[in-house]
């Protein structure tokens, strides 16, 4: 049995990749020394895998920014607006990050991960092969390190489906233009002596039509004809292959399958068998999570696989590229021992592969299993009072005590808000001053009292600003929060924080998700002081501000000994206590943000309903226990509302604000086909841009929206939080926004 890897994190063990990139962008590094540093990181990553004894090491998984951008540039798919760029490297980063004269290419999530890729744009052009990048990577590894690498590329079907700028009926033509280029890549690799290539087709875990499947098979037949001496590992991941039976018949030499996230994969294999002449790429270790595997269980799984395929034709590997996990757990020094011993980042996962593949490692395997056993039996994971309470809460009828229409009337009596109430989404600018203050507190230069006073001063300043602007519903501004998930994680039980647990999110941006490792529980009020203080300064209502349970879950690394659903109910149960604490402290307008609810949708449609059911229930568990006069708000970013309106209704929030300003036309039309009766604020301007919107354009936007919404349900707000904007942009934009609302009110 061989060991194989699908991709290794690019960022380096101390994020040296990020630092080199950012230094280069700031012109602190010349192009030559930047490229040299990048080469060092790339080779070090390969050498490490070699030293760990991995048999089949991926190459061309490294990139200067994003692997999909590499593919687009390799095929000459450069949007016209960037053509002026002469230097290839400034063209490349121009596409990724935008230039003064050309907006950046769109960025979107890579399947259901938190990795964002650059979306290739077609623009009616014929692709060509600019550089055989996999070949360059193959040769580099061979010549410099003596590694017989396995080049990795994104397959043509996935590439096209993830691109934009063409009509659906053009898809076949585009594929027929791309295939010869892929064939050339394969031929040249074969000539250079490469033995394997990994062609990533994660799109095969989603459902394709019969025609698409037939067309895909034809493509792989062409590949086979073009370079019969090069072995192709057709690699799927993130779920079970949707068309297992068909795909295993493709004329390739290996099929890579996900046995972790694809719960059905093993059954499919049992049912339909596995071709004797192919290699099975068995993705048995979770490439998406940070936990050690239970190696004895993995050994069992391997035994089962060996009944279905000959062991010399099995490669054991992670379920997907290790891009989605941090590099090495050895930098974590401040975690409880039981937790530390149970972590497996990229390097530890490779070590697990080695253990699994070598004979007589029983002792080492037992040690790892014992570590997991210790964590699972630790008090943090066995808080019976929490389990009992959550079970009881789940069993209750999770709904508000009055239907919306009754609540609406009573709330209007309490709040007496004008038509088209104006508000914001929660955060105000996180200026250098705010960040410095946090730094001083963290480093111990400021006492807690000093820092708290600073936050209070900020709140006071911004309450005054909001009153001057004339907003109807105010917020405290979230100055005390680093990040909307981390802040709550630090105050709830059951969370831990990594020191060096960085994962690439997009480009040079890395995130360090909190770790949910124990039973989650409320310990003390988390937001009450700031909200109550803000409310004490004004007669206008101040909205309380919480991050919702599903978002906290989706933006964390989550324990995998119980279901995500269960963990989410625990978070919801804890947050309900915060909601009730706010309510009893007199904060009776409360916003529970769920920007990440949509992105947690499973890849397979067949799993959607279950996810929607429990995530809606968790939101309800958080919010439904309040009085009918307490107004629950929620907020969501990036969302396809056409398919999501049903879910939004079920949340039963009194008011929802949505990020819409970038696709406003489509959204407004989405509301015509279904009547949504609750309060709704469609963002009237895009907070991602420094541009200050004019009164007139927002007035038009509000009036257009009023063609489909009732005047007494509509709210006026920006489309997301303002933390990334500066103070003057924020004030001016909000002044224009309230002026626009006032103009429309006058007419109504």
Catalytic residues: 688
Q: Is 723 in the site for ligand GLN (CB under 6 A)?
A: yes
Q: Is 426 in the site for ligand GLN (CB under 6 A)?
A: yes
Helix, coil or strand: residue 22:
helix
CB contact set of 345 (below 8 Å; sequence gap of 6+): 290, 325, 326, 327, 328, 329, 501
Q: What is the DSSP string of 391-412?
A: HHHHHS--S-SS-HHHHHHHHH
Q: Is 207 annotated as a binding residue?
A: no
Residue 270 and residue 204: Cα distance in Å, rounded? 19
Show the tokens assigned to 427.
Answer: 């955060």
Q: Is 105 annotated as a binding residue?
A: no
User: What φ, ψ does residue 158 adopt, rounded to 5°?
Assistant: -65, -40
Residue 278 and residue 310: Cα distance in Å, rounded? 10
Show the tokens assigned to 465.
Answer: 């600003």
Query: Are 288 and 113 spatial neighbours (Cβ–Cβ below 8 Å)?
Result: yes
* Paired strand residues for 544: 590
* Paired strand residues for 150: 58
Q: Is 545 in the site for ligand GLN (CB under 6 A)?
A: yes
User: Given the complex with Zn ion, which of 198 and 427 has the nearer CB atom?
Assistant: 427
At closest approach, how far in Å is the CB of 684 from Zn ion? 14
Q: Is 94 in the site for Zn ion (CB under 5 A)?
A: no
- Applying the rule CB under 5 A, the residues between 564 and 623 that interact with Zn ion are 595
Q: Is 598 in the site for ligand GLN (CB under 6 A)?
A: no
At closest approach, how far in Å is the CB of 654 from Zn ion? 18
CB contact set of 676 (below 8 Å; sequence gap of 6+): 645, 648, 649, 709, 713
At closest approach, how far in Å is the CB of 478 from ligand GLN? 6
Show the tokens assigned to 701.
Answer: 């936007």
Separation of first and last alpha carbons in the chain: 74
Show the tokens assigned to 182.
Answer: 């892929």
Which residue among 157, 257, 471, 484 contacts ligand GLN (CB under 6 A)?
484
Please state at what angle helix 528-536 crosses helix 448-469, rounded to 10 degrees.
50
Which residue among 219, 323, 329, 637 contacts ligand GLN (CB under 6 A)?
637
User: Given the complex with ligand GLN, which of 163 and 484 has the nearer CB atom?
Assistant: 484
User: Given the complex with Zn ion, which of 141 and 546 has the nearer CB atom?
Assistant: 546
Q: Is 95 in the site for Zn ion (CB under 5 A)?
A: no
Show the tokens assigned to 458.
Answer: 């900020």
Q: Is 632 in the site for ligand GLN (CB under 6 A)?
A: no
At closest approach, how far in Å is the CB of 724 from ligand GLN? 9
Q: In this chain, which stretch among 211-219, 247-255, 331-339, 419-427 interacts with ligand GLN, using CB under 6 A? A: 419-427
Taking CB atoms, the residue at the shortest distance from ligand GLN is 721
Helix, coil or strand: residue 7:
coil
Residue 539 and residue 246: Cα distance in Å, rounded? 66
Query: Are 317 and 233 spatial neighbours (Cβ–Cβ below 8 Å)?
Result: no
Query: Are 286 and 344 spatial neighbours (Cβ–Cβ below 8 Å)?
Result: no
Q: In this chain, which stretch among 59-67, 160-168, 230-238, 632-640 interacts with Zn ion, using CB under 5 A? A: 632-640
- Applying the rule CB under 5 A, the residues between 640 and 669 that interact with Zn ion are 659
Q: How big is the site for Zn ion, counted in residues (CB under 5 A)?
A: 4
Q: In this chain, which stretch among 192-200, 334-342, 421-429, 512-520 interacts with ligand GLN, using CB under 6 A? A: 421-429
> Is residue 101 exposed (0-12), middle (13-18) or buried (19+ Cβ within 10 Å)?
exposed
Q: Is 699 annotated as a binding residue?
A: no
Partner that binds at residue 723, options Zn ion, ligand GLN, none, CB closer than 5 to 8 Å by kind = ligand GLN
Q: In this chain, which stretch among 42-50, 83-91, 169-177, 715-723 interacts with ligand GLN, using CB under 6 A? A: 715-723
Partner that binds at residue 545, options ligand GLN, Zn ion, none, CB closer than 5 to 8 Å by kind = ligand GLN
Residues near ligand GLN, by CB under 6 A: 425-427, 478, 484, 545, 593, 595, 635, 637, 720-721, 723
Residues making up the binding site for Zn(2+)? 635, 637, 659, 720
Residues making up the binding site? 15-18, 109, 114, 425-427, 478, 509-510, 555, 593, 599, 635, 637, 659, 720
Residues near Zn ion, by CB under 5 A: 595, 637, 659, 720
């Amino acid at each position: 049995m061989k060991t194989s890897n699908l991709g290794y994190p690019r960022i380096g063990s101390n994020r040296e990749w990020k630092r080199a990139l950012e230094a280069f962008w700031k012109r602190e590094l010349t192009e030559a020394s930047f490229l040299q540093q990048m080469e060092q990181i790339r080779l070090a990553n390969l050498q490490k895998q070699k030293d760990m004894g991995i048999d089949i090491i991926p190459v061309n998984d490294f990139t200067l920014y994003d692997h999909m951008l590499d593919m687009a540039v390799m095929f000459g798919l450069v949007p016209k607006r960037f053509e002026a760029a002469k230097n290839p490297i400034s063209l490349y980063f121009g596409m990724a990050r935008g230039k003064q004269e050309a907006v950046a290419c769109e960025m979107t999530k890579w399947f259901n991960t938190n990795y964002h890729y650059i979306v290739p744009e077609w623009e009616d052009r014929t692709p060509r092969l600019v550089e055989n990048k996999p070949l360059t990577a193959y040769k580099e590894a061979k010549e410099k390190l003596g590694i017989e690498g396995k080049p990795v590329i994104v397959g043509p079907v996935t590439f096209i489906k993830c691109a934009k700028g063409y009509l659906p009926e053009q898809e076949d033509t585009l594929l027929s233009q791309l295939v010869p280029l892929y064939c050339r890549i394969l031929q040249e690799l074969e000539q250079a002596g490469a033995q394997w290539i990994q062609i990533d087709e994660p799109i095969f875990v989603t459902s394709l039509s019969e025609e698409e499947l037939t067309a895909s098979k034809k493509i792989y037949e062409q590949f086979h004809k073009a370079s019969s001496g090069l072995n192709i590992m057709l690699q799927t991941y993130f779920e079970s292959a949707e068309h297992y039976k068909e795909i295993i018949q493709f004329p390739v030499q290996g099929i890579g399958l996900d046995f972790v996230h694809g719960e059905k994969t093993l059954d499919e294999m049992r049912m339909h068998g596995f071709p004797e002449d192919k290699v099975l790429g068995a993705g048995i270790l979770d490439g998406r999570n940070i936990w050690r595997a239970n190696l004895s269980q993995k050994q069992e799984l391997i035994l089962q696989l060996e009944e279905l395929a000959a062991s010399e034709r099995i490669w054991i590997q992670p379920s997907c590229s290790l891009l989605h996990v941090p590099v090495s757990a050895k930098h974590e020094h401040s975690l409880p021992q039981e937790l530390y011993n149970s972590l497996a980042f990229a390097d530890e996962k490779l070590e697990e592969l080695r253990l699994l593949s070598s004979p007589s490692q029983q002792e080492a395997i037992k040690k790892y299993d014992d570590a997991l056993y210790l964590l699972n039996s630790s008090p943090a994971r066995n808080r019976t009072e929490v389990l009992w309470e959550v079970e009881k809460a789940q069993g209750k009828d999770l709904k508000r005590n009055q239907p919306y229409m009754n609540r609406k009337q009573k709330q209007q009596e309490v709040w007496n808000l004008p038509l088209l109430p104006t508000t914001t989404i929660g955060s105000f600018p996180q200026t250098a001053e705010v960040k410095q203050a946090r730094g001083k507190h963290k480093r111990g230069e400021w006492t807690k009292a000093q820092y708290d006073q600073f936050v209070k001063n900020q709140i006071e300043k911004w309450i005054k600003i909001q009153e001057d602007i004339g907003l109807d519903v105010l917020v405290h501004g979230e100055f005390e929060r680093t990040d909307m998930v981390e802040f709550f994680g630090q105050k709830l039980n059951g969370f831990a924080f990594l020191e060096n647990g960085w994962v690439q999110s997009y480009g040079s941006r890395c995130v360090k998700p909190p770790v949910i490792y124990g039973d989650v529980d409320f310990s003390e009020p988390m937001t009450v002081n700031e909200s109550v203080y803000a409310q004490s300064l004004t007669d206008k209502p101040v909205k309380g501000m919480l991050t919702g349970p599903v978002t906290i879950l989706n933006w964390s690394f989550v324990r995998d000994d119980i279901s995500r659903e269960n963990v989410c109910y625990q978070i919801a149960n804890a947050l309900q206590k915060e909601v009730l604490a706010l309510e009893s402290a007199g904060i009776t307008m409360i916003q529970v943000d769920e920007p990440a609810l949509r992105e947690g949708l499973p890849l397979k449609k067949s799993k959607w309903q279950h996810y929607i059911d429990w995530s809606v229930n968790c939101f309800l568990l958080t919010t439904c226990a309040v009085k009918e006069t307490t107004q629950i708000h929620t907020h969501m970013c990036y969302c396809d509302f056409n398919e999501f309106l049903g879910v939004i209704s079920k949340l039963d929030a009194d008011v929802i604000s949505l990020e819409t300003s970038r696709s406003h036309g489509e959204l407004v039309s989405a509301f015509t086909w279904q009547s949504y009766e609750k309060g709704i604020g469609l963002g009237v301007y895009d907070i991602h841009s420094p541009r200050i919107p004019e009164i007139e354009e927002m007035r038009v936007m509000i009036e257009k929206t009023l063609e489909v919404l009732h005047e007494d349900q509509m709210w006026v707000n920006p489309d997301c939080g303002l933390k990334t904007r500066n103070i003057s942009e924020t004030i001016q934009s909000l002044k224009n926004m309230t002026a626009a609302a006032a103009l429309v009110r006058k007419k109504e």
